[in-house]
Amino acid sequence: LLGIPDSQLVLLSVGRSCKFRPTERHDFLRTSRRLLGRIPEAHLYIVGLRESEAVGRLRHAPHPRLHLCGPVADASAYQAAADLVLEPYPFGSATAVLE
């Protein structure tokens, strides 16, 4: 459905854009760049954050294995494809965790 190969290591984070807004000490997008650099087979899908919203927060171009999916009505296909779900920060998303 999503065009993601079964063999791909899928990391997923789900939350509204504001959940990923960096603070001086915590920056999910910066950390995700380091994470993807250390795990070459991983792809990170962020549901709820548009690329246009992230551009101003990124110090570098988005990592090529970072997929900013924007808001979706039903994230269940992404959840089914995920090997690991990462809590957004610095502001957690309890609703996404419960899903």
Output the pTM of the full model: 0.88
Q: How far apart, in whole angstroms, are the C-alpha atoms of residue 95 and residue 11?
A: 18
42-47 and 84-85 beta bridge pairing: unpaired
Q: How far is CA 34 from CA 44, 91, 93, 97, 99, in A?
A: 12, 19, 22, 23, 27
With 0-12 CB in 10 A as exposed, 13-18 as middle and 19+ as buried, what is 16? middle
**Residue for token pair 């380091």:** 34
Per cent of the chain over pLDDT 90 is: 56
Please say if the pLDDT value at position 48 is more than 90. yes
- Per-residue pLDDT band for 17 (boundaries 50, 70, 90) equals confident
- Per-residue pLDDT band for 58 (boundaries 50, 70, 90) equals low
**Do the beta carbons of residue 79 and residue 98 sit within 8 Å?**
no
How many C-beta neighbours within 10 Å does residue 97 have?
Answer: 12
